[in-house]
Amino acid sequence: MKRMLLVYLIMSCCATFITPLFPLYSEHYQMNSLQITILFAVYAAILLPTLLVVGAKGSAWGLKRVLRCSIWISIASTLLFLGSFDVWMLYAARILEGIAYGSFTGTAAAFLIKQISPNKVSTAIKLSGATILIGFGLGPAITGLILQYLHLQPLRVPFWFLLVMLITSLVILETLPKHEDSLMQKPVKTKISLGVPNSIRSHFWSFAALPIFTVFTIQGIALSLIPSFVRNVIHTSNLAFSGIIILLLLGGGALAQFVPWPSHPVSRMRFGILLLAIGSWGIVFAGLTANLLWVWASIFIQAIGGGWTFQVALRFASQLPKPEERPRVISAFYLCAYSGFIIPPIGVGVLTQFFSLNFSLIILNLFAALIVIYVLIYSVKFNRYYSKVTVEETQVKNEKTLLSREAAASFETEPGTETSNQRKTLSYDEKNADFDFRKAIQEIKRGTLHPKASLEHGDRIINDREFREVLSALIKNGKILEADEPMDD
C-alpha cells in the first residue's frame, strides 16, 4: 500500500505542478487572464471524459497497464512543456496531462484496493484521499521554491525535476503485483456510465458529489488565481510565496483529516463545508484590504473546511455502495470533483473581463453559498438515513461475530471426542483408543478437565464426554476415592 500511495503522491504533484508558472507564461507569451484560466481549466475538461471512459473500461483493459500508460503520457506532457516555444504547445501539454491524470484516477482506486486485504480498504481510501491533497499542494510548492532560488531557465528547469519524479513513479509501479482478474471473469462488454446505484443515487449526489464539487470549485479558483492574486493584491514578488500558500491550502487540508473532532461524519461535513465557505469569503475580504494576515488566516480556515469536506464525502462515496460497486462510485466521485475545475474558473475568467477580480470572486462565492445552504438542509434527511444504515450494519456485524464464535466453539474438541465431521459409527474401543482413563480421573479430581464437545447420540455407545461426566459424579458421591491405579474397561 505504501508504494502505491507514493505513486499517488507523485501523480498528484504533476496535476498542479504548473500552477506557479502561470504568471510567467502570461508575461512570456502575453496571455490575458481568460487565456490563463482556460489553460488551467482545459486540463479538467479533458480529464473528465477520460475518467469516465477509463473508470468503466479500466478493469477490462488491465489496471496496471492503464496506470503504466498514464505515467508515460504524463512524461510526454512534461517533455512537451520542456520544449515549448508557442502557446499551442502549452495547451497540448495540458491536454496530455488531463488524459494522463484522468486515466490514473479512473483506475488507481481499484488497483489500490486489490493490493490490500478487505479489512484495510477503508483505511486505504482515507489515506489515498489525504495523499492526493498533499500532492496537489506539494507540486506548486516545489515549483515555487525552484523558481525563487535556482534562477535558471524558470520555464524549463522545474520540468526536469518533474521528469525525474515521474520516472521514479514508473519504477515503483513496476514493483507492484498485477492482481488482475482472470480472462473468464473479465466482462466482455462494459457500459460507459457513472455507475451510481439507484439505491444510493439521491444521497450520493446531494451529500457526496455536490460537496466535493464545491470543494474543488472554491479551491480550484484559488489554485488558478493565487499566483496573480499574490503579485497584484498582496504586492510581493516572491515566487515561492504562492506555492507555499497552495501547500497550506491543500496540504493543510490533508493534515486536518487526522484531527479526531468532530467524530460523527455528518457533523464533520456540516462544520467542514461551513469553514470552506467562511475561508473563501475571507479571501475576498483579504483582496479588498490587501491584508497579508487575512490571506493566511483565510487560507488556513479554508484548508480545514476543504479537508474535512473532502474526507467525509470520500468516506460516503466508498461506504454507501456495495463492495463490488465501490470502484465505479469512487470514479464518479472524482468525476464530480474535477468538474469543479471547469465552469467556475472559466466563469471568473470571463467575469474579470468586465468586473474586478474581487467582484468576480463575490459572484462565485454567492453561487457557492447556495450550494452550502442546500447541503446543510439536506444533511438533516441524510443524518436519519445514515443513522438507520449504521444501526443495521452494526446488528449484522454483531450477528456475524456471534455466528463465527459459535462455529469456532463447535469445532473445539477434546482428544478422542467425536465432532460433527466424524459421522461414522465407531465401536467403544475405537472411540476410546486414545483415552487415558487414569489421567481423566486425576484431571477430574484436580478440576482441570473441561469437556467442550457436544454429545453424540448415534448408536448410544457411551462416548468420552459421557464417561467423564459419570466419573465426575462418582467422585463427588465418594464412590471413587483414589485414582492411583489404572482402571479396567
Instruction: Report the phi/psi class of residue 290: left, alpha or beta, with left for phi > 0 and alpha for psi in -120 to 50.
Output: left
Residue 83 inside a domain? The answer is yes
The alpha carbon of residue 372 and the mean position of all alpha carbons in its chain are separated, in whole angstroms, by: 23
Q: What is the pLDDT of residues 451-484, one digit of tens each?
A: 444 444 444 445 556 666 666 666 666 555 544 4
Residue 308 inside a domain? The answer is yes
Which backbone phi and psi does 180 adopt, to 5 degrees?
Answer: -80, 155
Q: Please work out, in degrees rounded to the nearest 5, the angle formed at the alpha carbon of residue 457 by the alpha carbons of 454 and 458.
A: 130
Residue 322 inside a domain? The answer is yes
Domain match, 94 and 150 both: yes
CA distance 479 to 420: 33
Supply 174's cell numbers.
513496476
Burial class (CB in 10 A: 0-12, 13-18, 19+), 231: middle
Last residue of a domain, which of 329, 362, 397? 397
Domain match, 55 and 171 both: yes
- Please choose, from the candidates 245, 476, 213, the residue with its C-alpha nearest in 3D space to the C-alpha of residue 335: 213
CA distance 128 to 4: 9
Domain match, 447 and 376 both: no
Using an 8 Å Cβ cutoff, are 96 and 136 in contact?
no
Domain match, 331 and 474 both: no
CA distance 360 to 348: 6
Last residue of a domain, which of 397, 429, 444? 397
CA distance 285 to 277: 13
Domain match, 325 and 464 both: no
- Please choose, from the candidates 46, 45, 103, the residue with its C-alpha nearest in 3D space to the C-alpha of residue 74: 103
Residue 131 inside a domain? The answer is yes
| H-helix or E-strand spanning residue 471 | helix 464-476
Residue 191 inside a domain? The answer is no
- Please choose, from the candidates 240, 236, 358, the residue with its C-alpha nearest in 3D space to the C-alpha of residue 289: 358
Residue 38 inside a domain? The answer is yes
Grid-cell match 436519519, residue found: 384
Q: What is the pLDDT of residues 417-430, one digit of tens each?
A: 544 444 444 444 44
User: Which DSSP category does 281 fall into?
Assistant: H
Residue 403 inside a domain? The answer is no
Domain match, 387 and 430 both: no
In the chain, the number of structural domains is: 2
Domain match, 95 and 223 both: yes
- Please choose, from the candidates 470, 460, 457, 451, the residue with its C-alpha nearest in 3D space to the C-alpha of residue 413: 451
Instruction: Please report, for the domain that includes residue 311, its CATH number.
Output: 1.20.1250.20
Using an 8 Å Cβ cutoff, are 268 and 262 in contact?
yes
Domain match, 134 and 239 both: yes
Using an 8 Å Cβ cutoff, are 101 and 14 in contact?
yes
Last residue of a domain, which of 353, 368, 397? 397
Domain match, 43 and 137 both: yes
**pLDDT digits (tens), the chain, 489 positions:** 788 999 999 999 988 888 788 878 888 888 887 787 778 778 878 888 898 888 778 778 888 899 999 999 999 999 999 988 889 999 999 999 999 998 998 788 888 888 888 778 778 888 888 898 899 889 888 988 898 888 788 889 999 999 999 999 999 999 888 765 544 344 545 666 667 888 888 999 999 999 999 998 888 777 666 766 677 666 777 777 777 888 888 888 888 888 888 889 999 999 999 999 999 888 878 777 777 778 788 888 999 999 999 999 988 988 888 877 777 788 888 888 888 877 666 777 778 778 877 788 788 888 888 999 999 999 999 999 888 888 877 777 776 677 666 665 654 544 445 444 444 444 444 444 445 555 666 666 565 655 444 444 444 445 556 666 666 666 666 555 544 444 444
Residues found in the chain = 489
Residue 151 inside a domain? The answer is yes
CA distance 17 to 138: 8
Domain match, 392 and 421 both: no
Domain match, 380 and 452 both: no
**What's the domain range around 473?**
414-489
Domain match, 391 and 434 both: no
Please give the full DSSP string across 403-465, using - where no structure is assigned: HHHHHHHHT---TT---TT--S---HHHHTTT--HHHHHHHHHHT-----SPPP-TT----HH
